[in-house]
Chains A and B, each alone.
Chain A
Amino acid sequence: MRLNDLSSHPSQWFGSGPSAEIVISSRVRLARNLAGFKFLSTCSNEDKLAISDLLREALLSIDVPQERSYYSVDTAAALDRDFMVERHLISRHLAHGSGPRGVVIAGQEAFTAMINEEDHLRLQVIKGGLQVQQCWHDISMIDDMLEEKVEYAFSPKYGYLTACPTNVGTGIRVSVMLHLPALKMTGQIEKFFNATRDMDLAVRGLFGEGTEAIGDFYQISNQVTLGLSEIAIVNDFTDTIVPKIVEYELAARNQLLAKEANVLNDKIYRALGILKSAYMISSQEALGLLSHLRMGVNMKRLEGVSIPKINELFLLTQPAHLQLNEGRALDATTRDELRAKILRQHLN
């Protein structure tokens, strides 16, 4: 698999699955470290190399049907690294880290394993829509297979030991990406923030820690990883947290339809107007407007544009995708021009 082969289309998992109108994706991440090695902040480069070799070998040799590829992130071009961040294959932390590090990508991008990120190993399974339980099932199986090949740092009291104590115990981070334009438009998004805080959840933007919410996309994830079982955390998302937020968003959409249909129409059709006619557009503006379009199609206010098309545009208009598909690095102005051109071509 070459990165260029991926850049012309969205990831397989993107845009389908249960409750996909509101739930973009479900992701489960496990943090693991190898016994017998220091954590990365005090590790020598030789140790990092040894860890990377050990884990790469283990990941490529476990008995799963999916085709797997390893990418060395420390030797990758800056553009390739940004591209992998845009596709949620690696984190910004791994992209901008130092020393020997890499990623194994498998299952048409549904499974990734980051080596030498904040912990020695960060496993991730991502699926479209609300599929947290399926993600947990897959990742736990992979984790079991790896455990036969390597020895994890584990203590009976604190569980899986991680570099930062905020991840210790299960090392699990469940994240669900939500599209909540109606809660935002009806001014109820603060309520959502308050509710998530009461439930010990973190809210982040599209690209994880330290990123702002763009285009009404919010990522919620658990903060407590110790003292609860993985199943309890996963079930909480599936049975309580996500259905409740989906219900709030649907209620807000109905409220808009009943009371402010023209405000809604105006937002959607202005977005379409700009996307169809602009000659220069930033990725941030494009994301915001595509978000309104997505809401318009899902609320049946807009015909002639499909959700798969909007999903495709979400990715194709990202800076690294634009440049990789063009085959060269582009400055910001040229990117804005090219982005507008692609949007005009696809939407007219």
Chain B
Amino acid sequence: MQCQACKQSAATIHLTEITEGQRSETHLCEACAQKQGISMQTQIPINELLSSLLAAQPQMPAETAPALPSTSCPGCGSTFEQFKKQSLLGCPEDYSVFEKQLEPVIKKSHAGHDTHCGKVPAKAPDEAKKSTELIRLKQELELAVKVEDYELAARIRDRIKQLQ
């Protein structure tokens, strides 16, 4: 589709306006849209994104819902409702107390990921270090196969075997 303003470039921005029940459509290229001061909101602030995710979360079915609708964390007394309001958790314990409710929020914020695979404190138990390293190695293996670096893939596979 051609841009309605310059009639040269391809229209990539499509605006639909409804005024007093009348629907009108405008098709513009990026340059013309910018000239007319039309800017797409391409960046959603993190907090806004989080609130919208939380608002969109389906109500949990009765059987999987916590016994009390307003379960509070024994550590800090916070409820999941409070988190939904301010996007901040009350204490580290909340991650396990509200794990079920938090999981979809965490996955959405982190492109589907739900498990840590980065740095581990030196003081952490060896088991934690090992499991984090395994997750990382598996990611690296996938990548090596994807770029067809089979030599590297074989080395990573051996390391995984060793750890397991």
CB of B106 within 8 Å of the partner chain: yes
CB of B154 within 8 Å of the partner chain: no
Indicate whether A226 sits within 8 Å of B39 (C-beta atoms), given known contacts A42-B90, A209-B46. Answer: no
CB of A228 within 8 Å of the partner chain: yes
Q: Which residue of A lies closest to B132 (CB)?
A: A156
Stretch at the interface among A54-62, A124-132, A147-155: A147-155
CB distance from A186 to the nearest CB of B (A): 8
Total residue contacts A-B, CB cutoff 8 A: 161
Q: What 1/0 mask marks residues of chain B from 120 to 131 whose CB sits below 8 Å from any chain A CB?
A: 111111011001
**Cα-based distance from A203 to B78 in the complex (angstroms):** 32
Contact of A209 among B30, B45, B122 (CB under 8 A): B45
**Cα-based distance from A229 to B95 in the complex (angstroms):** 20
Indicate whether A227 sits within 8 Å of B90 (C-beta atoms), given known contacts A165-B102, A190-B40. Answer: no
Question: Which B residues between 109 and 136 are near A, CB-CB below 8 angstroms?
Answer: 109-125, 127-128, 131-132, 136
Contact of A226 among B96, B110, B128 (CB under 8 A): B110
CB of B91 within 8 Å of the partner chain: yes
CB of A346 within 8 Å of the partner chain: no
A residues with CB within 8 A of B: 33, 35, 37-39, 41-42, 118, 140, 143-144, 147-148, 151-161, 163-166, 168-170, 172, 187-191, 193-194, 196-197, 200, 202-204, 209-210, 223-230, 232
Taking A39-B92, A156-B125, A166-B87 as known contacts, 4 extra A-B pairs with beta carbons closer than 8 A to each other, sorted by chain A number, are A154-B128, A155-B92, A165-B106, A209-B46
B residues with CB within 8 A of A: 30-31, 33-35, 39-40, 42-43, 45-46, 50, 75-78, 86-92, 94-96, 102, 105-106, 109-125, 127-128, 131-132, 136, 139
What are some 13 contacts across the A-B interface (CB < 8 A)? A38-B76, A143-B119, A154-B121, A155-B95, A156-B125, A159-B116, A168-B106, A169-B110, A170-B118, A193-B42, A193-B43, A226-B115, A228-B113
